[in-house]
Structure formats: C-alpha cells, structure tokens
C-alpha cells in the first residue's frame, strides 16, 4: 500500500512538473537510438519499451541525447509511422518520379556513355596513350557500380535524400573542377574519382526508388528511366562537339556543369522515397546469396556485362584501325548505338509488363547479344559496321533495360530493394575494371586484330546466358510461366 501511494504521489508530481512532462513527450516521440561499435549509432524503430526494477513498473524509452543522434533520427524516421499502402502503379506522382529518375540517368550514365568524346580530346591534348586515358572513364564507371552497396543500404535506412544530395553536389563540383584541370592526374581525381563517387551516390538510390511506385507497370517505368542513359549519350556528346572548337575545354565543361545543375534541381526538390525506412540491418544482405535465383542471376549478369560494354568501347577504334574510317564516323557509330537504345529499352519492357515477365525476355536477349558479338568478326565494311551498331545497340539496350526490373522481381521485400540492387551493382563493378583491359590485351596479343577480343566478348555473354537460364529454372521451373 505504501509503495502504491508513493508511486501515485510521484506521478502527480511529474504531471505538475513541465520539465518532466516535456521529457515524457520526448520519450514518446523518439524511438530507441543505440550506439554501435562504429560510434555513430543505429536506429531500432521496433525497440520495445524498457522496464526494470528501478522503474517501479513504469515504461521507459531511451532517447537520442546528442544533436547528431536527433538529426540522424529526424532524417531517417520522420515518416516511419506512416503506412504508404500499396504502390499507386500510375498517376501523376508515380510518373513524375519516373521522369525525374530519367534526368538522373542522363546525368550519371549519360556522362559515362559520352566518355569516348573526352577520350579522343584528352589523348590528343595530353599526349598520353589511350590506355592511360581510359582509366579515367573506367574508374568513374567502377565507382558508380561499387558504391551501390553502400548508397543502396543508406536508401533502405531512410537516408535517400541525404545520400542523393551528397552525390549531386559531388558531381556538379567535379564537373566545374574538371574545367580547371590541365594535367592527367587532375582529370583522374576530378572526372574519374569525384564524379564517379557522385554518380554512385545518386544512381542506385534512384533506381531502387522507382520500383516502389509500381507493380503491373514496373518494367515499363524502369525502361523509361533506363533510356536516360541513351538520352544523355546523345545530348552530351553533341554539346561537347558543338562548343569545344568555339569556346574551348574550360567553358565547355562549365556549360555542362550548369546544365547538370539545372537538370538535377527538379530531382532534388521532388524525388521522394515512398516506403518508410527499414529497421537496422546489414550493409550486405549475405542471406540473399543463399537464394539460388538471386545468386545465379548475379553470376549471369557478371559474365553478360563483362562482354557487353566491350562493343561500346571498341567499335570506334575498330572502325578507324581496321576499316580505316574517319574519326567522325567512329563517333557517329557510338551515337547510333545510343540512339537505338531509346526505343529498344522501352518496347521490351512494355512486353514484360503485358505478357512475358522479365526473366523470360532477359535470357533470349542475352543469347542474341552473344550471337551478334560472334557475328562482329564477319563485318568488313563501314556499312556493315553501321548495321552491326544498330542491331547490337538495340539488343544490348534491351538487356540493360530488363536487367533492373528482373532484379526487383527477385526481391520479395521492397524495403530491401536498395541493398540487394546495390550488391549486384558492386559485383558488376569488377567488370568495368577487368573487361575492357582484357579486351585491349587480347587485341595486342592478336597483333592489332580484333578476332580474339570478339570471341572473348561473345563467349563471356554466352556463359552469362547459361547462368541466367539456370536462374530462370531455379525460380519457376522448366514449364512456361510468366516470370
């Protein structure tokens, strides 16, 4: 009885004390925030209320007590209690996210697809071998893929906007800094490293955001987003070719910087994460590799992408060195490959939504890519090379468009989309650092001929196709079903 009276008296005193009342409100508002071994802390939104002998049975909750803790909490969890409901699968909000993500792709993959223009200019002005210059573009692409694991996990944790803003800032700053560069090492650090980091912090979070807005139209939405790389691959080289002879390198890059800044601002303002943050979890979801479809898919895409980009990197040099075509012809071939990708990314994705499912189309398109790569060895004229660039560009663009939506179908919990997407991107990052150097080495071994490279390219994609077929069987069996 005395204990009950004491508890009642203490509760009454706390009710009259505004400080105690405010503390109680804080404890109600803030979920449990616990430190981790890295010193930053992690948020557990499902942490149960703590009770102990000292609390006399009263409920207590731990609160973030530092400014950093509360700031991170507000960024991560301000919408954690909101039930978003099912994906809208259309409407202004969903399709606006697709349009904004398209702009992000223009400013990430668009620069990578346009690097051939910079490769030619840097080789001529810096008097360095092409293999040295290619490392700038290779490192940029590697970082875009590799950082996906970390930026994807940050997105799942609710840090989409913060991660994206850091990435956009890094890319814009890198472009303006590139305009000041006059030496190779400066370009390597700005255009290769810094811009690669910026692109990596934007690309994976954006690509993992769009699928959460769609169900039946997911493939079409992802296809439209993926066409941004082709749009950028057409627009950016055109700007560089038009401005470089007139205003010089510095103001050409500054113009690109202003264009990038202006086209990223709408995405900064209106891209919005739909799902509430996922509770604390690992950076790498190792358990995903115990799933046969996911593991075989990752292996298959590794080998497919190991050979796929060789065609984009070396078709220009094949035209000039083997067929003795002009420099402008080599640039036009790359632009043609990007141009056909706009249509061929959308139409197959529309078929995926309507009839087939992504895996049923990814396997045959990967097989076609391998066959066309082998057929490259028989091209002996500029006209034939244009035909090859159209067919190869169309088929491989379909592979790139279907790849993303296939990965989302292998993730049952959409809250894990970011980390599982990023894991595959990090695996593919190895391709960027190995595929093109291997191709270049094979050309040297073949005394400047391209046959060994073409056979490696086709064989790599054929091995990847077999692994993808295994992933399809592991997921749905041999019988025809939409998957």
Cβ neighbours for 312, distance < 8 A, ≥ 6 positions apart = 113, 334, 337
CA 409/CA 395 separation, integer angstroms: 21
Q: What are phi and psi of 44, to 5 degrees?
A: -115, 100
**pLDDT of amino acid 334:** 80
Paired with 42 in beta bridges are: 34
Cα 452 to chain centroid distance, Å, stands at 31
**pLDDT of amino acid 259:** 97
**pLDDT of amino acid 238:** 84
Alpha helical stretches, state H, 281-381: 292-321, 327-351, 358-375
**pLDDT of amino acid 55:** 41
Q: Is 32 helix (H, G, I), strand (E, B) or coil?
A: strand
Q: Please say whether the beta carbons of 278 and 159 come within 8 A.
A: no
**Burial category of 268 from C-beta neighbours within 10 Å (exposed 0-12, middle 13-18, buried 19 and up):** middle
Angle at 116 between CA 330 and CA 167, to 5 degrees: 155
CA 30/CA 110 separation, integer angstroms: 42
Q: Is 236 helix (H, G, I), strand (E, B) or coil?
A: helix
Strand duo 32-34 + 42-44: pairing: antiparallel
What are the E-state strand segments in 268-391? none
Q: Is 476 helix (H, G, I), strand (E, B) or coil?
A: helix
**pLDDT of amino acid 33:** 37
CA 360/CA 365 separation, integer angstroms: 9
Comparing CA positions, the residue from 321, 294, 299, 279 lying closest to residue 411 is 294
Cα 77 to chain centroid distance, Å, stands at 24
Q: At what angle do helices 195-209 and 218-270 cross, to 10 degrees?
A: 120
Q: Please say whether the beta carbons of 377 and 455 come within 8 A.
A: yes
Q: CATH number of 91-476: 3.40.50.150, 2.60.40.10, 1.20.1250.20, 1.10.10.10?
A: 1.20.1250.20
**Which two three-digit tokens encode residue 472?**
């399809």
Could you state, in order of their start, the residue ranges of all structural domains in the chain? Answer: 2-77, 91-476
Cβ neighbours for 179, distance < 8 A, ≥ 6 positions apart = 249, 250, 251, 252, 253, 254, 257
What do you get for the CA distance between the two ends of the chain, in Å?
Answer: 67
Cβ neighbours for 71, distance < 8 A, ≥ 6 positions apart = none
Q: What are phi and psi of 158, to 5 degrees?
A: 100, 10
Biggest CA–CA distance in the chain, Å, is 100
The 3 state secondary structure assigned to 277-291 is CCCCCCCCCHHHHHC
**pLDDT of amino acid 32:** 40
**Which two three-digit tokens encode residue 418?**
């970011």
Q: Please say whether the beta carbons of 370 and 458 come within 8 A.
A: yes
The pTM for the full model equals 0.72
**pLDDT tens track of the chain, all 483 residues?**
444 545 554 544 444 444 444 444 344 333 443 434 333 344 343 443 444 444 444 444 444 455 545 554 444 444 444 567 788 988 999 999 999 999 999 999 999 888 877 877 887 789 887 778 878 888 998 999 888 778 877 887 888 999 999 999 999 999 999 999 999 999 999 999 999 999 999 998 998 889 889 988 888 898 899 899 889 988 898 898 889 889 999 999 999 999 999 999 999 999 998 888 766 566 677 888 889 999 999 999 999 999 998 888 788 888 888 999 887 788 788 888 888 888 888 888 888 888 888 999 999 999 999 999 999 999 999 999 999 999 999 999 999 889 888 887 887 776 677 778 788 888 888 887 888 788 888 988 998 899 999 999 999 999 999 999 999 999 888 888 887
Owner of token pair 């702009």: 103
Q: Is 319 helix (H, G, I), strand (E, B) or coil?
A: helix
Query: How many other β-carbons are positioned within 10 Å of the β-carbon of residue 265?
Result: 12
**Which two three-digit tokens encode residue 58?**
């009263």
**Which two three-digit tokens encode residue 40?**
């930053």
How many Cα atoms occupy the beta-carbon half-sphere of 439 within 13 Å? Answer: 29
**Burial category of 468 from C-beta neighbours within 10 Å (exposed 0-12, middle 13-18, buried 19 and up):** buried
Owner of token pair 């950076």: 283
**Which two three-digit tokens encode residue 47?**
């942490």
Angle at 163 between CA 158 and CA 164, to 5 degrees: 110
Cβ neighbours for 402, distance < 8 A, ≥ 6 positions apart = 219, 223, 348, 349, 352, 358, 361, 362, 365
**pLDDT of amino acid 361:** 93
Q: How many residues does the chain have?
A: 483
Q: Is 50 helix (H, G, I), strand (E, B) or coil?
A: strand
């Amino acid at each position: 009885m005395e204990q009950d009276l004491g508890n009642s008296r203490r509760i009454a005193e706390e009710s009259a004390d505004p400080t105690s009342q405010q503390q109680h409100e804080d404890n109600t508002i803030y979920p449990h925030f616990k430190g981790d071994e890295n010193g930053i802390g992690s948020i557990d939104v499902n942490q149960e209320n703590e009770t102990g002998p000292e609390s006399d049975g009263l409920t207590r909750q731990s609160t973030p007590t530092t400014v950093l803790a509360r700031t991170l909490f507000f960024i991560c969890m301000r919408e954690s209690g909101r039930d978003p409901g099912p994906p809208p699968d259309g409407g202004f909000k969903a399709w606006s996210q697709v349009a904004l993500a398209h702009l992000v792709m223009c400013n990430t993959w668009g620069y990578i697809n346009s690097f051939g223009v910079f490769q030619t200019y840097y080789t001529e002005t810096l008097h360095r071998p092409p293999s040295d210059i290619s490392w700038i573009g290779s490192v940029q692409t590697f970082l875009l893929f590799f950082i996906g694991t970390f930026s994807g996990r940050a997105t799942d944790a609710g840090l989409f906007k913060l991660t994206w803003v850091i990435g956009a800032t890094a890319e814009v700053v890198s472009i303006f800094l590139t305009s000041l560069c006059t030496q190779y090492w400066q370009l390597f650090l700005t255009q290769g490293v810094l811009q690669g980091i910026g692109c990596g912090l934007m690309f994976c979070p954006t690509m993992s955001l769009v699928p959460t807005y769609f169900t039946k139209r997911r493939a079409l939405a992802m296809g439209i987003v993926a066409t941004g790389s082709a749009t950028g691959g057409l627009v950016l080289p055109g700007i560089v070719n038009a401005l470089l002879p007139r205003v010089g390198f510095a103001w050409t890059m500054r113009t690109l910087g202003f264009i990038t800044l202006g086209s990223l601002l709408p995405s900064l303002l209106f891209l919005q994460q739909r799902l509430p943050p996922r509770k604390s979890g690992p950076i790498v979801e190792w358990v995903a590799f115990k799933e046969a479809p996911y593991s075989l898919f990752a292996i298959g895409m590794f080998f497919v992408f190991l050979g796929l980009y060789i065609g984009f990197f070396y078709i220009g040099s094949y035209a000039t060195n083997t067929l003795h075509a002009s420099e402008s012809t080599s640039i036009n071939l790359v632009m043609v490959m990007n141009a056909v990708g706009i249509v061929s990314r959308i139409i197959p994705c529309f078929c995926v939504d309507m009839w087939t499912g992504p895996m049923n189309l990814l396997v045959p398109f990967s097989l076609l890519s391998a066959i066309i790569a082998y057929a490259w060895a028989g091209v002996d004229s500029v006209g034939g090379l244009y035909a090859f660039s159209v067919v190869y560009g169309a088929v491989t663009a379909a592979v790139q468009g279907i790849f993303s939506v296939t990965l989302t179908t292998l993730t049952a919990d959409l809250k894990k989309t970011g980390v599982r997407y990023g894991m595959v991107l990090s695996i593919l990052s190895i391709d960027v650092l190995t595929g093109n150097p291997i191709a270049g080495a094979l050309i040297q071994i073949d005394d400047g001929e391209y046959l060994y490279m073409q056979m490696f390219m086709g064989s790599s994609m054929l091995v990847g196709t077999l692994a993808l077929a295994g992933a399809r069987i592991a997921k749905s069996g041999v019988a025809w079903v939409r998957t």
